[in-house]
Amino acid sequence: MYTSKTLKLQERQKCALTGTTQVFDRLYTLENFPVICACIRQLQLKDIFITNYISVSRPYGVIQFSHLVPDNFNYAIPHNSGIIGDIWKEHHKKFAKFLYKFQPKSVLEIGGGHGILSTYFKDIPWYNVDPAGVDNKDSNAIFIKEFFNETFQPTFEYDTIVHSHTIEHMSDIEDFVKSLSCKTQIGQYVIFSMPNLMEMFKRNYTNSLTLEHTVIIEEDILEYIFNKFKFKLEDKEYFKEAHSIFYCFKRSNEPINNNPPVERYQINRKLVDGFIKNNEEICKNINNNIKDVNKNIYIFGAHVFTQYLINFGLNVQKINGILDNDSGKIGKRLYGTSLYVHSPTILSSIQNAVVILYAGSYTEEIKQQLYSINKNVTVLSYENRDC
């Protein structure tokens, strides 16, 4: 699929969150990192690796990557994020309940190409705008395979814009909110779910800052931006401790009293230092725990969690393969690695199996699944709840 060994990245010229031209301090160099997070069948020698920098902007201290990967690489291969697992099922159900409070009569959904949210609202018109959208047989949604941006011109009516785990994929958050303001009328709602990125980052979860989630969105700055474009905060709800935040904003015709964001440059510098040091220490601990184990070692998650661990020095030579619940990944190779993906059910016939588990807020759910398959499996789980 990709034959070039080079890829031109786009350097950020302004803060991804505030939209202002600022100074960026590069705090950590992420070298030789896979350019996409997906599972593929192509030869490993065709994989592309990049160098990027974890940076903090002045004066607000927004944590973000200094460079951007072109969208046609980032999203060339779907990887079904947000579909599989009980936590995600609960998320979709709770977010649908949150949305229902505002009684939408017709919805424009941005992203969410799997169409899951629309299955809770079969009695209202629902339009899903996503270039990678896949028709869902359980949904009555109309799928429009386009990008939502300032040039998108809807040919249908709606009173609510919805998106779930989409805003964090935007390279320029302020531009995205500006587009939302242009596509809403006074009194209409923008209702969305987003990952609780700062809490995840504080806990050292590596799915918080990725080549797709290129900025750690902080709540006060996000709310400041929505206020700036005359969106009034109507409601806000947290889903679990370090998973998601549900927001409802209502378009207003009045300027909203808006205090400037807090400057937290020094605080966030320390957070980045801790994020790196703690993840490097976790990788050292894993290597120490598997150095005397000679077979049957697997790692769970054909995902960025595994790509990060390898980048931090995981001894890949000791790993037999990757376990993952996504049937679409089975038999494929995680991009940027030599590891192929297996179903966790293979553990049922393996004695003395060891599974490395580093999956953020999904760790406990996955751990219980592994024990249900093989009660004798040794699970090396790593998470930091106290940071």
pLDDT at 19: 81
Higher pLDDT among residues 242 and 70, named by residue: 242
Cα 81 to Cα 329: distance, rounded to the nearest angstrom: 12
Cα 109 to Cα 6: distance, rounded to the nearest angstrom: 35
Structure tokens at 178: 């500006």
Asked if pLDDT for residue 83 goes beyond 80, the answer is no
pLDDT tens, residue by residue, 99-134 = 999 999 999 999 876 789 999 999 999 999 988 767
Contact 348, 375 (CB under 8 A): no
Strand partners, 224: none
pLDDT at 278: 95
Quick one: what percent of the chain has pLDDT higher than 70? 93
> Residue 340 corresponds to which amino acid?
Y
Structural domains in the chain plus CATH codes: 86-251 (3.40.50.150), 281-381 (3.40.50.720)
User: Cα 362 to chain center, whole Å?
Assistant: 13
pLDDT at 6: 67
pLDDT tens, residue by residue, 2-47 = 334 568 899 998 898 888 777 889 999 999 999 999 999 988 888 9
pLDDT tens, residue by residue, 130-185 = 887 676 778 888 888 888 888 888 899 999 999 999 999 999 999 999 999 999 99
Mean pLDDT, rounded, for 337-358: 95
Cα 360 to Cα 386: distance, rounded to the nearest angstrom: 13
Does the pTM exceed 0.75? Answer: yes
From 107, 80, 126, 144, select the one nearest 326 (Cα to Cα): 80
Cα 22 to Cα 190: distance, rounded to the nearest angstrom: 29
Quick one: what percent of the chain has pLDDT higher than 90? 74
Higher pLDDT among residues 262 and 356, named by residue: 356
Cα 300 to Cα 298: distance, rounded to the nearest angstrom: 7
Mean pLDDT, rounded, for 290-312: 94
* Contacting residues for 196 by C-beta, under 8 A, at least 6 apart: 238, 241, 242, 243, 244, 245
Mean pLDDT, rounded, for 188-195: 98
pLDDT at 137: 75
pLDDT at 380: 95
pLDDT at 191: 98
Asked if pLDDT for residue 1 goes beyond 70, the answer is no
Lowest mean pLDDT among 73-87, 160-174, 267-281, 320-334: 73-87
Cα 161 to Cα 321: distance, rounded to the nearest angstrom: 41
Element holding 245 (H helix, E strand): strand 244-251
pLDDT at 54: 97
pLDDT at 74: 64
Cα 142 to Cα 184: distance, rounded to the nearest angstrom: 19
Q: Between the CA atoms of 270, 276, 282 and 283, what dihedral angle is there, to the nearest 10 degrees? A: -170
